[in-house]
Amino acid sequence: MNPTLTRRGALGGLAAGLTLLASGRARALGNDDRVGIALLQYGSGYDQRPGAVEQLLWETTKRTSIDVREKPVFLTPDSPDLFKFPLIVWLGDAAFPALDEAAVAQLGRYVRAGGCLFVDDASPPGVDGFDQSLRREIDRMLPGRALVRMSNDHTLYRSFFLLERPFGRTARQSWLEGVELDDRTGVIYGRNDLFGAFGRDAGGSWRNAVEPGGDEQREMAFRMGINLLMYATCLSYKRDQVHVTEILRRRKWRVDDTGVVR
Amino acid sequence: MNDAAEFNTSRVVLLSDWSPGTLALVALISLAVLALAWHNVRAQPPFRRNVLLALRGAAVLALFTVFLEPGLRLENVTRVRNHLVVMVDASRSMDLPGYGDAPRLAGVQQALAREAGTLEGWRGAHSIDFYAVTDHARPVGRPEEITAGGDATRLATGLADIAARHRPDELAGVLLFSDGADNGALGAYGPGKELPATVRDAVLRLGAPIHTYFTGPDEPVKDVAITDVQYDEFAFVHNAVSIEADIAVQGYDELSLPVTLRRDDALLGTRVLQVEKGPDGNAHSHFKFDFVPDKTGKAIFTLEVGTAPGEQITVNNKRQFVVRIIRDKIRVLQVVGRPSWDQRFLRQLLKKNPNVDLISFFILRTNTNITIASQSELSLIPFPTEELFKEQLGSFDLIVFQNFTYRGYNMEAYLPLIRDFVRNGGGFVMVGGDLSYTQGGYAGTAIEEFLPVTLRRDKADAATPDRFRPVLTEAGRRHPVTSLSVVPEENTALWGGLPELSGFNRVAGVKPGAVVLLEAPGDDRAPVVVAHEFGEGRVLGITTDSTWHWDLHAAETGDNRHYYKFWGNAIRWLIKDPALQPVRVQADRDRYPLGTEATLTVRVAGRDYLPAPDADVLVEVDRVTLDAEGRSQSETVFHQAGKTNEQGELVLRYKPPGDGGYRVRARATVGTGEGTDEDPFIVAADPVELRETRARKDTLQALAEASGGSFHSLDSGLGLDALRRNEPQVSRVNRRKDVPLWASAWWLLLAVFFPSAEWYLRRRWGLL
């Protein structure tokens, strides 16, 4: 396992990143074209992870070549600006009222047209209100297309980092669910409070403890988040045959603690 | 008048009119009489028994004969002449030497001339019908009229033609003169094989003896022949193609000759034919040529084996054929400098297109990124620049540099290769971004040489982040790349309704010859989409990285098809989709038999890509040959000007003068410019007839045997008198006369003598 990203490491990385930016790091031509995240402003919990998106985007800038918008944009489900953001994150921690018909139609059209909706259930363990509400709305948005369990060899798990399963602030569920549309997963649903692992307070400390794995799990959550951004931008790129052999070869090299080749 | 003069046929008949029942009863009585006689004498010594039984039997027979009333029927009949078919092989192989130095056909004609008197004598009983046989049997007046020009020998088909023309009872027989070198069904016959079913069927339907005459020679002619070439009429560009050939050698003990394969005049491969004498003096060699076609289009391929010393037939040393090289898929290389929304939607578009084989390479991390994970925890692979831009470069149809800079990857040496790729016919798109154009460091490189724009040397102010809605230029209104609708006004309106874009690269200027299709509004009218032709290739410059808004953003109103239309148009234009060519010419066949008329169709489209009526068109046909060094030589053999009809078409008919490769070229005025196209075709450059020139006795022997006829060699005479022929059929009886045989006194004497003798002996031997 890689060294966990410690506060000192993070600060060092921040300094390096700032140096790179200051040294003239290139940018997309227009701000609209940089890779950003829009947060869906609906229900409860969408604003309970302050700084999380910014931190993830900062880590993405630091570790990958993606050019990001530093801050998220909050959009209501019926906002026409949804279509300017190919990746929308829906955070929630409790049951929410049904979306109105216009919002349902718009979200459905958005996903079918190529948008990616990542839903992050930040509910405490044992609380399923958000989960039940979300499934109800997915049924309305995409009739006939159910959320199904994503295989652990889904491209999302190898879009940048090689991961075995989803990570987040919690380890509630060892799989993701998704809705497949035209050879891509248009809706991705995780229940491990992914964005809960990212935010820092004003003093630079992590806002939330990551359980049960601590900093090591937080690092894996960042990798999960970066993979999410990579999947949103590159789709099935890593499934292309040209990469498959190489990736399979590397997976063979990886030996777990028991000595079993995975 | 005596009977012999009055009647011309006679036969024995029964004159009695007894009913069958009466005849049977009398026969039974006769048997009973014989049985009683045997019973009566069975105890006698053998001599007496046998004599008495013989006399009784003779008596019964004499009486039974009288009872039957036998007679001789004399008739005067009229017969219809039946047909004696003289069939002469008129294929090209009959022009080769047979017995002696004379051509095979000449030997036949001389032999028939010598026997003309005999044949003339047969005309009373037979109609002598002459046929020339090649792929079918065709009647001819006299054997001297036959020439050896047929491009096939199908003897069984010729016999079937005769069978279709005459019933079996109308045929006296067939005299078949040939070298036996059949390239139809009979050709498949060989040692240890049965006659093919179609041949047997033709012989059966004929119902007459076939007397075959072998023209010779017994010794094989000196010949090296390409007997078969296996190829597919369609092949895929950038995919391995195999062309295989069989070469037969006869009459040579040892030989070493080059075998070459050319596409037009480009040498694709050379092999060496080595012959060592086989047990029968013949040798067969098999060759295989593998190559990878690097461009699409129809091409004339020439397979050729060298001429051997003293070779008697050289026309079969070369085979020409047309292969259509097509795309199986458009191979696109998409190289992206960083993941972005623009790249994401373009990749999705390309992946959705079933005609595109996409190879993507995205730079996911650069050396400026911090590395926290080990390499084995990442799904990253090295950027295979040498493989993509050197080894495999020629296999792509289109390269997309999307917000990509070559710097940092040691690619400087590959930039000239990419330029040459475009110059030689490849397509290239540069999509804008902070790593493109001037910011990508392309100023002054080999890439800039073919870009449609000139680049600023200074990066300052080389891009603008402003939102803008690009404007269609005058050229863009009609250009296929920016044609969202064929109606110009509607096209302009559609472009005006698309979502705004965000930022573009600024360039120094537009190169001469490049066509700006979309530009940014404003005084400087900065180019946004520019089309350009460089050498044989085409280049599109897109100075923004935000066309993805035409997809997802446009879908807000439920319609993102214009994004797909624009990029689809761009790809088709970049790869020179034939459907977008303003002038197209096509021969109706790839290969014509000698003497066949070709139909040449020219289609002209205007700048709006709609059919262009009344357009001036010039059509020329070149005859293409290869000289001794394999260089292509062409001579214009047809030249005609015309105008297109209402459908934008001009149709011409042309009869090529001889064997070989041809290329029809059409040139037409389209708008203010000129368009050209060409299409190759072949005229019987590989006569089937001369692929196998070996004279074959065995086929003729088999035919003769199967039909009950006889086989002869031409050098030993025709032997016409000994031939079995079916007699002509009787059509009418003019007179008839029955002469009773039983009424003779001898019969009565016998009928009395045998019983009397038996009576005498019985009495003498004490049996009465």
Domain B223-326: homologous superfamily in CATH: Immunoglobulins (2.60.40.10)
Structure tokens at B337: 């400098």
Provide the residue ranges of all domains of chain B, joining segments of one domain with +. Answer: 3-78+733-764, 82-217+696-727, 223-326, 330-574, 581-688
pLDDT of residue A3 exceeding 60: no
Interface test with A, best of B364, B404, B469 (most A CBs within 10 A): B364
Structure tokens at A154: 């889904």
Query: What local confidence, expressed as pLDDT, does residue A261 receive?
Result: 30
- For chain B, percent of residues with pLDDT exceeding 90: 43
Query: What local confidence, expressed as pLDDT, does residue A253 receive?
Result: 44
Provide the residue ranges of all domains of chain A, joining segments of one domain with +. Answer: 29-253
Contact between A26 and B435 using a beta-carbon 8 Å cutoff: yes
Interface test with A, best of B372, B383, B551 (most A CBs within 10 A): B372
Of the partner residues A3, A35, A62, the one whose CB lies closest to the CB of residue B341: A35
**CA-wise closest residue to B635 among B654, B649, B620, B646:** B620
Is residue A223 within 8 angstroms of chain B, CB to CB? yes
What is the CATH number that goes with domain B330-574?
3.40.50.880
Structure tokens at B295: 């461009």
Asked whether the ipTM of the predicted complex exceeds the cut of 0.90, the reply is no
pLDDT of residue A255 exceeding 70: no
> Cα–Cα distance between B98 and B102 in angstroms, integer?
6
pLDDT of residue B482 exceeding 90: yes
Strands laid side by side in the B9-14 sheet: B9-14, B70-80, B729-740
> How far from B701 is each of B184, B629, B712, CA to CA, in Å?
16, 45, 8
pLDDT of residue B580 exceeding 80: no
pLDDT of residue B101 exceeding 90: no
Contact between A30 and B551 using a beta-carbon 8 Å cutoff: no
Query: What local confidence, expressed as pLDDT, does residue B10 receive?
Result: 85
Q: How confident is the model at residue B743 (pLDDT cuts 50, 70, 90)?
A: confident
Under 8 Å between Cβ of A139 and A189: no
Terminal-residue alpha carbon distance, chain A: 14
Is the preceding peptide bond at B191 cis, omega within 30 degrees of 0? no
Provide mean pLDDT across the span A221-250: 83
In sequence order, the 6+-apart residues with CB closer than 8 A to the CB of A105 are none
> Cα–Cα distance between B44 and B32 in angstroms, integer?
20
Q: How confident is the model at residue B281 (pLDDT cuts 50, 70, 90)?
A: low
Structure tokens at A77: 């489900």
CATH 2.60.40.1930 fits B581-688, yes or no: yes
Q: Which of residues 502-531 of B touch A (CB under 8 A)?
A: 502-505
Contact between A33 and B340 using a beta-carbon 8 Å cutoff: yes
CATH 3.40.50.410 fits B82-217+696-727, yes or no: yes
Partnered with residue B695 across adjacent β-strands are: none
Q: What share of chain B is helix, strand, coil (3-state, %, to 5)?
A: 30, 35, 35
Provide mean pLDDT across the span B67-87: 86
**CA-wise closest residue to A58 among A76, A41, A77, A36:** A36
Buried b (16+ CB within 10 A) or exposed e, A149-168: ebeeebbbbbbbbbbeebbb
Provide mean pLDDT across the span A29-35: 79
- Return the ∠ at Cα B697 (arms to B694 and B699), rounded to 5°: 95
In whole numbers, what is the pLDDT of chain B averaged over residues? Answer: 88
Query: What local confidence, expressed as pLDDT, does residue A15 receive?
Result: 35
Report, in angstroms and rounded to the nearest whole number, the Rg of chain B calculated over CA atoms.
Answer: 45
Query: Mind listing the pLDDT tens digit for each residue in B371-388?
Result: 778 888 888 888 888 888
Domain A29-253: homologous superfamily in CATH: Domain of unknown function DUF4159 (3.40.50.12140)
* DSSP type of residue A89: E
* DSSP type of residue B631: -
Average the pLDDT over each of A40-44, A53-57, B80-84, B673-677 and give the range with the smallest value: B673-677
Q: Where are the beta strands (DSSP E) in B104-167?
A: 126-133, 137-140
> Cα–Cα distance between A148 and A227 in angstroms, integer?
20
Is residue A235 within 8 angstroms of chain B, CB to CB? yes
Q: How confident is the model at residue A258 (pLDDT cuts 50, 70, 90)?
A: very low
**CA-wise closest residue to B184 among B250, B93, B52:** B93
- Return the ∠ at Cα A183 (arms to A178 and A185), rounded to 5°: 20
pLDDT of residue A257 exceeding 50: no
Closest chain B residue to A249, measured at CA: B376
pLDDT of residue B579 exceeding 80: no
Query: What local confidence, expressed as pLDDT, does residue A25 receive?
Result: 47
Query: Mind listing the pLDDT tens digit for each residue in B289-322?
Result: 998 887 778 889 999 999 998 888 888 888 889 9
Query: Mind listing the pLDDT tens digit for each residue in A188-230?
Result: 999 999 999 998 888 888 999 998 988 899 999 999 999 999 9
- Highest-pLDDT range among B55-69, B327-341, B406-420, B609-623: B406-420
Query: Mind listing the pLDDT tens digit for each residue in A166-199?
Result: 999 999 999 999 999 888 999 999 999 999 999 8
pLDDT of residue A262 exceeding 60: no
Closest chain B residue to A5, measured at CA: B372
Helix (H) or strand (E) holding A132: helix A129-141
Alpha-carbon dihedral sign for residues B274, B279, B283, B285: negative
Under 8 Å between Cβ of B495 and B472: yes
Per DSSP, the residues of B154-168 read -HHHHHHHHHHHS-G
Closest chain B residue to A254, measured at CA: B376
Provide mean pLDDT across the span B253-273: 89
Q: Which of residues 370-409 of B touch A (CB under 8 A)?
A: 370-381, 403
Is residue A183 within 8 angstroms of chain B, CB to CB? yes
Is residue B348 within 8 angstroms of chain A, CB to CB? yes
> How far from B504 is each of A4, A224, B180, B431, B728, CA to CA, in Å?
40, 33, 78, 10, 98
How close B223 comes to chain A (CA, Å)?
52
Query: Mind listing the pLDDT tens digit for each residue in B38-58?
Result: 888 888 889 988 998 999 999
> Cα–Cα distance between B455 and B396 in angstroms, integer?
26
Of the partner residues B372, B379, B463, the one whose CB lies closest to the CB of residue A29: B463
Fold match, B223-326 / B330-574: no
Query: Mind listing the pLDDT tens digit for each residue in A46-73?
Result: 888 899 999 999 999 999 999 998 899 9
Report the amino acid identity of residue B270. T
Terminal-residue alpha carbon distance, chain B: 55
Contact between B546 and A113 using a beta-carbon 8 Å cutoff: no
Q: What are phi and psi of A169, to 5 degrees?
A: -70, -30
Query: Mind listing the pLDDT tens digit for each residue in B716-735?
Result: 888 888 889 988 877 677 78
Interface test with A, best of B331, B344, B362, B402 (most A CBs within 10 A): B344
How close A123 comes to chain B (CA, Å)?
30
Under 8 Å between Cβ of B193 and B286: no
Is the preceding peptide bond at A212 cis, omega within 30 degrees of 0? yes
Which carries the bigger pLDDT value, residue B160 or residue B560? B160
Query: Mind listing the pLDDT tens digit for each residue in B341-358?
Result: 999 999 999 998 888 888
Is residue A66 within 8 angstroms of chain B, CB to CB? yes
Strand pairing category for A116-121 and A87-92: parallel
